[in-house]
Amino acid sequence: MRRSGGIEGASTAEPYADALLAGVAAAMPPIGLEDVPELMSRVDCKYIVTASTMARLAAELGDRFLALRIGGRRQFRYSSTYFDTPGLLTYHQHRQDRRRRFKLRTRTYLDGGGQWLELKLSGARGSTDKHRIPYDGVPGHTLTNQALDFVRDTLLGELRLIAPETLEPVLATDYKRVTLIDCSGTARLTCDTGLLFRDGRRSTAARGDLVLLESKSVDGKALVDKVLRGLGARPVSVSKYCLAVAALRDLPANRWHPVLQRYLMHRPAPRRSGARGHWSGAMAADRGADGRSAASAERRRNAGGGWHSDRPWMSPGGC
């Protein structure tokens, strides 16, 4: 049975997606990272499917896709920390479907791939541009002066947007990923399982029988999109960050709630309206009229600039 909104229902007999994807990747010919095109400017289409549909998709793709392999691995652990303003500007821009919007995160490749600071930009034509800089040796929950300059310059140069005055870590996501590459080099499919959202006070996990797919191509008309539609899957407008905010905070009903009800294993227990992480509540108490936190300003002075945090929950893989 396929439910509305592009998210399939699942029975208790569904295989766990994580193990299935490991098998799918192992059965495909490998490709090294150095041979994978960057695709920094692309059109993204996202789907949420059951493990059985993922198995059917892999059978349909056959030998037309390759599995990314790095250091003998084909399935990789990721941890991302997302930054936003105290008022969740980037979340609300996405919720309101603003044409010009952005997301800022650090992404840590836990299986030896290093760390990057990534700025994802959405433009007027529905395309996504990703800009990033190496971020090794920097705690993933901090923004250095160099990082802030990168954000300011990129937003102004690409979208003609003024960067927010204050950006702080809001939440983190952890998951496993298999990346399949079209042999033509014009498209790829990322397959995410074991998704966990956490903000220091609460956490919630995705169902183990579902896969979050993201088709990335130059025009949004990749072979994999056609195959998925033939299997009954439909694109869904989702963002890991926005799903996490909607799941972990008591916010008004929005378009992501139907996705949350079907995708998450459980919803966190309700908490008082307006409550943020255990770290954010303390910061809100001493935030001045200009939106800056006295505590964070002191950390910036002591560390010689940038934005720094002492929040232990932001360590990759922790809860």
Number of domains in the chain: 1
Q: Over 70: is that where the pLDDT of 34 sits? A: yes
The pLDDT value given to residue 2: 35
Interstrand relation of 30-32 and 65-69 (parallel, antiparallel or unpaired): parallel
The pLDDT value given to residue 13: 43
Residue with more model confidence, 22 or 41? 22
pLDDT tens digits along 130-161:
999 999 999 999 999 999 999 999 999 998 89
pLDDT band at 292 (very low <50, low <70, confident <90, very high): very low
Q: Over 50: is that where the pLDDT of 309 sits? A: no
pLDDT band at 265 (very low <50, low <70, confident <90, very high): confident
Q: Over 60: is that where the pLDDT of 302 sits? A: no
pLDDT band at 261 (very low <50, low <70, confident <90, very high): confident
**Least confident span in 14-18, 30-34, 228-232:** 14-18
Give dist(CA 83, CA 69) in Å, integer: 30
What is the token pair recorded at 180? 């399949």
Count of CA atoms in the C-beta half-sphere (13 A) of 134 = 4
Q: Which domain holds residue 161?
A: 1-319
The pLDDT value given to residue 124: 61
Residue with more model confidence, 39 or 141? 141
pLDDT band at 295 (very low <50, low <70, confident <90, very high): very low
pLDDT band at 12 (very low <50, low <70, confident <90, very high): very low
Q: Over 60: is that where the pLDDT of 291 sits? A: no
Give dist(CA 213, CA 189) in Å, integer: 7
Q: Over 80: is that where the pLDDT of 192 sits? A: yes
Q: Percentage of the chain with pLDDT > 90?
A: 58
CATH of the domain at 92: 2.40.320.10
pLDDT tens digits along 199-249:
989 999 999 999 999 999 988 889 999 999 999 999 998 889 999 999 999
The pLDDT value given to residue 128: 82
What is the three-state SS of the chain?
A: CECHHHEECCCCCCCCHHHHHHHHHHHCCEEEHHHCCCCCEEEEEEEEEEHHHHHHHHHHHHHHEEEEEECCECCEEEEEEEEECCCCHHHHHHHCCCCCEEEEEEEEECCCCEEEEEEEEECCCCCEEEEEEECCCCCCCCECHHHHHHHHHHHHHHHCCCCCCCCEEEEEEEEEEEEEEECCCCEEEEEEEEEEEECCCCEEEECCCEEEEEEEECCCCCHHHHHHHHCCCCCCCCCHHHHHHHHHCCCCCCCCHHHHHHHECCCCCCCCCCCCCHHHHHHHHCECCCCCEHHHHHHHHHHCCCECCCCHHHCCCCC
The pLDDT value given to residue 98: 87
Q: Over 60: is that where the pLDDT of 315 sits? A: no
Q: Rounded mean pLDDT of 182-197?
A: 93
Q: Over 70: is that where the pLDDT of 288 sits? A: no
Give dist(CA 191, CA 176) in Å, integer: 8
- Report if pTM > 0.85: no
pLDDT tens digits along 109-131:
999 889 999 999 987 666 788 99
Please state, rounded to an integer, the average pLDDT across all residues of the chain: 81
